[in-house]
Amino acid sequence: MRGGSALPRASLLEGRSRLSTTKQRPLRADARRNREKVVAAAAAAFAEAGLDAQVEDIARRAGVGVGTLYRHFPTKDALVAALAEAHFERLADTIEAALEDDADGWEAFTATIWRIAETVAADVAWCEIVGGHPTAVQTASRGQHRLAAATSTLLARAQASGRMRADVTFADISTIMCGFGHIAAAQRAGAALDWKRYLDIALEGLRAR
């Protein structure tokens, strides 16, 4: 199960047929649990072995058969895309929770960015995806839409506090976090970089003068 290489034709057709069916109606509770277990197992496997982790190991970790894994994810690309989607959903959860806090807008913004950064830097599977499978990031549309909406609101509050530059946009924050993700991935791979220093400098550049 390397890259986006196709499975045998029969397995691929079966996978597509089943995926088409799941798009038309919600997954059964047991199927949903199996899918969630596979995604969690893939994260653990990628964290240990990188994107070359074998499908048999992922299925074993999830406690499901290889056929069950293929029914949900006919290629590694599909599995990696699901991990990316789950990642952005978690980040959106974090920012939406921060919006419920009545703290100063700037303080809430910086605290949330640091919280997310710590989570991302510790997420080895995500660093593997950013470093070796960046196209998966582009396909995670649902999570990114939630993340963009929540971040834009958090950004507006920080600017309303008067402590953030008025010309900062969501695109600026997205660029900073994308750059941070690549630095964290490179640092984990052994590069002489310090993601905390990078993020500290980036956030200082957002302060109102």
How confident is the model at residue 30, as a pLDDT? 85
How confident is the model at residue 17, as a pLDDT? 42
Name which of 41, 100, 99, 108 is nearest 72 in CA terms: 41
Name, in order, each residue with C-beta under 8 angstroms of 135's C-beta and a sequence gap of 6 or more: 77
Name which of 98, 190, 191 is nearest 152 in CA terms: 98
Residue 94, token pair as written in the block: 């974090």
pTM of the model: 0.73
Distance between CA 31 and CA 72 in Å, rounded?
A: 9
Name which of 177, 51, 22 is nearest 114 in CA terms: 177
Please give the chain's pLDDT, 209 residues, in tens. 544 444 444 443 344 444 444 444 566 888 889 999 999 999 888 878 777 888 999 999 999 999 999 999 998 888 888 888 888 888 899 999 999 988 899 999 999 999 999 988 887 777 777 666 667 667 777 778 899 999 999 999 999 999 999 999 999 998 898 888 888 888 888 999 999 999 999 999 999 98
**b/e for 151-160, b at 16 or more Cβ within 10 A?**
beebbebbbe
Name, in order, each residue with C-beta under 8 angstroms of 73's C-beta and a sequence gap of 6 or more: 15, 38, 79, 82
How confident is the model at residue 49, as a pLDDT? 78
Distance between CA 136 and CA 84 in Å, rounded?
A: 6
Distance between CA 61 and CA 45 in Å, rounded?
A: 8
How confident is the model at residue 25, as a pLDDT? 57
CATH 1.10.10 fits 9-74, yes or no: yes
